[in-house]
Amino acid sequence: MKQPDAPPERPSPSRTEPAEVAGRLRVVIQQLLPLLRGRSRHPDLTPSRTAALAALAAHGPLRISELAARMNIALSTTSRMVDLLDNCGWIARRPDPADQRASLISLNDDGLALLRAVRRETTGVLRERIARLAPDRQRLLHEALPALEELVEGEQPLPEGASPNSRRPRGTGEGRGGDGRA
């Protein structure tokens, strides 16, 4: 005798659906970012300028075209942003030794100090929020960090002509750890 078809398997409570997790994570990120951005004491430092400073801190010095590729924005937009960063006194430009027609952009001391200050501020905001959580929730959040970090590993586009092996190793320096990321 043939057995009736079994009902479709439903996810167990211990198994989460990627679509549900993705939707909830997106909502949380969309609510966290304005919270962090709204606390900045630096009105000239927009989110995109902060991202440019962070990219320069992590990967600089860079040509404008490399910065555009890393940020995934148009070259003309990046060029205007670099001019603004320069006018604010946060970057240095020098000729590219490989091509004297091009410039290399890097953070100067003021830009690095500003980026560090913003990272301290935003880390402080998050630290306050996390401290309000129950210890078991803090532990769960800590345990989720490797998975969240894995979501963004390798997502930075490579500069033109660079090989995948030319990336700098991650896990050391300003971009990781308790300093907060811009």
Whole-angstrom distance, CA of residue 50 vs CA of residue 8: 48
Q: Cα 179 from chain centroid?
A: 13
Angle formed at CA 133 by CA 131 and CA 135, multiple of 5 degrees:
90
Both structure tokens of 147: 């998975």
Residue 110, domain member (yes or no) = yes
| Model confidence pLDDT, tens digit, residues 114-153 | 999 999 988 998 999 999 999 999 999 999 999 999 998 8
Label residues 82-95 b or e (16+ Cβ within 10 Å = b).
bebbeeeebbbeee
CATH number of the structural domain spanning residue 138: 1.10.10.10
Question: Contact, 182 vs 115, CB < 8 A?
Answer: yes
Residue 90, domain member (yes or no) = yes
Helix and strand element counts for the chain (H, E): 6, 2
Residue 5, domain member (yes or no) = no
Bridge-partner residues for 62, per DSSP?
105
| Model confidence pLDDT, tens digit, residues 96-116 | 999 989 999 999 999 999 999
Residue 13, domain member (yes or no) = no
Residue 182, domain member (yes or no) = no
How does residue 9 score in pLDDT terms, banded at 50, 70 and 90? Answer: low
Highest mean pLDDT pick, 6-20, 34-48, 155-169: 34-48
Whole-angstrom distance, CA of residue 158 vs CA of residue 161: 8
Residue 126, domain member (yes or no) = yes
Sequence-distant (6+) residues with CB within 8 A of 50 are 115, 118, 182
Residue 31, domain member (yes or no) = no
Q: List strand residue ranges (DSSP E) for the chain, in order.
A: 91-96, 99-107
How does residue 33 score in pLDDT terms, banded at 50, 70 and 90? Answer: confident
Whole-angstrom distance, CA of residue 113 vs CA of residue 120: 11
Q: Which domain holds residue 48?
A: 44-152
- Give the total number of structural domains in the chain: 1
Residue 113, domain member (yes or no) = yes
